[in-house]
Amino acid sequence: MYDFPVNRIPAAVVCAAFAAISLGAELAVAQDSTCAFDTAAHSRIDSVVLGLAPGSRRDRHVPPDFLDAARAIQAYFRPPAHLRIPLWARTVGRSELSRLSEGSEYAGYGLSGDVTFRLDDTGRLTGDSIEVHSASGDIIDALVAAVKRADSANVFTPPSTDVRHDHGKIRLRFVRTARDATTSVPLLLAVITGIVLDSGPAMISFPLLQYPTDARLLGVEDRVLIAGVIRPDGRMEPSTVDLVHATYQEFAVEALGKILDARFRPASVAHCAVPVLVVLPIDFKMRRH
């Protein structure tokens, strides 16, 4: 883990509690007792305005409640004193650098994640229902605390009919956002020293997948997307495995059941193997005769 200080930007700049997080450069990063490299020769300085946007990529209809909830959280968000993130959250390949430069909402650097909680019919938090997914435990703690403070101040609006039909669930996600964005709210300004890979990971082997019987009979196909960190030993770290997308549950179960048996050539920097976050597509296709 890397531990970096946090400095405040005056709230008037963005009309919100805001933090500038500067990730200082280390002289070297040791992967084991025999492999280390100079980060200065393999780094890229990037600024990320991390914000909250309504819904998830899979939501087809996003109620206005979601953006209202994001603004309420923003008003009560207090930046963490430090931001600690693992090495894999700062390793980026050339293709990801292009994606980060496009100005899209993709947060990058392992900072993507989501926030979910439930509100009752009066707009109050129901039980212990706050879930935050992030590479940084400090972000998780700060978001949970902000949701609780907003709830204590009774600033969440009563849910609309759509949200009540979904049992009061509010879904938000972390995005890279502009300060004047109208579809998201800014929380953190992070100045990140990203470590640029010399070579990305490559798959060496993947266990044989069993095509779900019912799907085969129905002629159904699917593409499953699984995110996870490929470690320097070429295996996927179990604690980081996450289902990004699957249309059918049967395909997701089969892919998730086999992913930990896959083997990869690890990513590398200056001939040192390093961990890196990937999103792996796994296709289930019928043979055509």
Q: pLDDT digits over 127-150, tens only?
A: 777 999 888 889 999 999 999 999
Whether 151 is covered by a domain: the verdict is: yes
Q: How many CB atoms lie within 10 A of CB 35?
A: 16
The answer to whether residues 217 and 134 belong to one domain is no
CA-CA-CA-CA torsion sign (134, 140, 146, 149): positive
Q: pLDDT digits over 29-76, tens only?
A: 334 445 777 777 888 888 888 999 998 655 567 888 999 999 999 999
Whether 136 is covered by a domain: the verdict is: yes
One-letter amino acid at 21 equals I
15-29, 35-49, 105-119, 218-232: which range is least confident on average? Answer: 15-29
Q: Which domain holds residue 70?
A: 2-196
pLDDT at residue number 77: 96
Is the per-residue pLDDT at 234 higher than 90? yes
Domain boundary among 196, 225, 257: 196
Q: How many CB atoms lie within 10 A of CB 146?
A: 23
Q: pLDDT digits over 244-278, tens only?
A: 889 999 999 999 999 999 999 999 998 899 999 99
The answer to whether residues 190 and 229 belong to one domain is no
The answer to whether residues 115 and 158 belong to one domain is yes
Record the tokens describing residue 194, joined without a space. 């990203």
Return the residue matching tokens 């989501």: 114
Whether 289 is covered by a domain: the verdict is: no
**How many helices, marked H, and strands, marked E, lie in the chain?**
6, 18
Q: Choose between 39 and 202: higher pLDDT.
A: 202
The answer to whether residues 32 and 163 belong to one domain is yes
Section 269-289 average pLDDT: 88
What order do you get walking across the sheet with 276-284 strand by strand?
A: 242-245, 222-230, 276-284
Residues 199-215, buried b or exposed e (16+ Cβ, 10 A)? ebbeeeeeeeeebbeeb
pTM of the model: 0.75
- pLDDT band at residue 177, thresholds of 50, 70 and 90? confident
- Beta strand 202-205 with 185-196: parallel, antiparallel or unpaired? unpaired
C-beta separation of 189 from 225 below 8 A: no
pLDDT at residue number 185: 92
Distances 6 to 3, 69, 132, 133 between C-alpha atoms, Å: 10, 25, 21, 21
As a whole number of angstroms, the distance between CA 199 and CA 201 comes to 7
The answer to whether residues 16 and 83 belong to one domain is yes
pLDDT at residue number 3: 39
Per the structure, the count of domains in the chain is 2
